[in-house]
Amino acid sequence: MNTKMIITGTEGLTKEDFNSIRDIFKGGGLVAFPTETVYGLGADALNKDASEKIYSAKGRPSDNPLIVHIAKFEDLYAITKEVPDIALQMAKAFWPGPLTMIFRKNEKVPYSTTGGLDTVAVRMPDHKTALAVIEAAGGYVAAPSANTSGRPSPTLAKHVYEDMNGKIDAIIDGGEVGIGLESTILDLTGEIPMILRPGYITKKMIEAVIGPIAIDRAITDAADFKGKPKAPGMKYKHYAPKASLVIVEGNKEAVADRINLLTMEKQALGFGTGIICAEETQSLYGNGIIKCIGTRNKEETIARNLYAVLREFDELKVDYIYSESFYTPNMGNAIMNRLLKAAGHQVITVE
Ligand code: TXA
Ligand code: MG
């Protein structure tokens, strides 16, 4: 398949591009597009055959449900059985934005979109092009992150191109995304609202609007939890770099000493090594490929660069990567959720 590249400027989609995207969706095709979190791989969410194609393009397990993206709040009513009051409060506070909410679905939403579940995840992205894409599709776009299953989510159109060229109809290049980590997922179908995936919108921000909520134990006890995460996608070994990734945490000098030691040991054995660190501590490292991921006092820089750095290390073919930890004040939980997964929970604590 020939994948068409569409580049948007500050004006967003041209009329001509809008029409060609509308035609692709009408024909049941797939279009990758930017959002404020990560790039999404979109299909008409109400077209069973179209959303099925997403699974094969990504190599995604068929029990892993997709998020339905909408552009207008009232469209939520057409695909759900009930919209609880707290959803209204949450939408008012955070939509459009990096928040996905889970509802009971109605018969309009095919099971291929929800991975066989009777619930549906819905999000209204805060991104001009994404909203135009949703309009072009007729209001409902099923879109997982636009990466091959198991690779880091794309934060640049070139990441989408690497994974999807030849497999989908079009890629819309809208430049680098703003946030760089996927949306916070909040389940509203249980007794108490529950975070199933941490993101830019934190527990504290949500509780300021709707009061106490829970976090899925699959996130809080991730290293030891043996049960089933409530978001099926959270059980897969996501974001796994090709190299073995180990996180070293503790005071910054001790962390640097240990990482330098580990790096030298591996290099002596002939392995390629990489280091992921913050700008503040970069000068403490001297060996192997050192990648500065961002600045600790601007945590959004760390969130935005994480996936790109993991992809860069894949290209560099290093065997071992050592990373500092990044428990920053707001997005720290989301950043570390992804980084710990990428590391398969290999953590060394030093004094
Ligand atoms: O920021 C985002 O959410 C991005 C952009 C493109 O919007 N999308 C995204 O989609 O991250 P994806 O497919 O990579 O992750 C969706 C997650 C998966 O872990 C999936 O299991 C979970 O949401 N999910 C979807 N529907 C669900 C449902 N009905 N119940 C529980 N979990 C659900
Ligand atoms: Mg994903």
How does pLDDT run across 175-215, given as a tens digit for each residue? 999 999 999 999 999 999 999 999 999 999 999 999 999 99
User: Across the strands, what pairs with 208?
Assistant: none
What average pLDDT is seen over the chain? 95
Q: What are the tens digits of pLDDT across the range 40-81? A: 999 999 999 999 999 999 999 989 999 999 999 999 999 999
Confidence of residue 12 (pLDDT cuts 50, 70, 90): confident
Residues in the chain, total: 351
177 CB near ligand 1 (under 6 Å): no
Say yes or no to pLDDT of 223 above 90: no
Peptide bond into 96 cis (omega under 30): yes
| DSSP class of 324 | -
Tokens read off for 197: 């995936």
100 CB near ligand 1 (under 6 Å): yes
Confidence of residue 91 (pLDDT cuts 50, 70, 90): very high
Chain position carrying tokens 């994974």: 163
**CA nearest neighbour of 213 among 198, 203, 200, 202:** 203
Q: What are the tens digits of pLDDT across the range 144-168? A: 999 999 899 999 999 999 999 999 9
| DSSP class of 226 | -
Q: What are the tens digits of pLDDT across the range 39-50? A: 999 999 999 999
Say yes or no to pLDDT of 237 above 80: no
Yes or no: say if 234 and 218 are a contact pair by the CB < 8 Å rule.
yes
* For range 234-253, the mean pLDDT: 86
* pLDDT confidence of residue 251: 95
* pLDDT confidence of residue 310: 95
Nearest CA to ligand 1 atom 15: 144
259 CB near ligand 1 (under 6 Å): no
189 CB near ligand 1 (under 6 Å): no
How many whole angstroms from 145 Cα to the centroid of ligand 1?
Answer: 8
- What is the share, in percent, of the chain residues with pLDDT greater than 90? 89
* For range 294-323, the mean pLDDT: 96
Phi, psi for residue 50 in degrees, rounded to 5: -65, -45
Q: 102 vs 63, which has greater pLDDT?
A: 102
User: DSSP string spanning 272-299?
Assistant: -EEEEEEGGGGGG--SSEEEEEEBTTBH
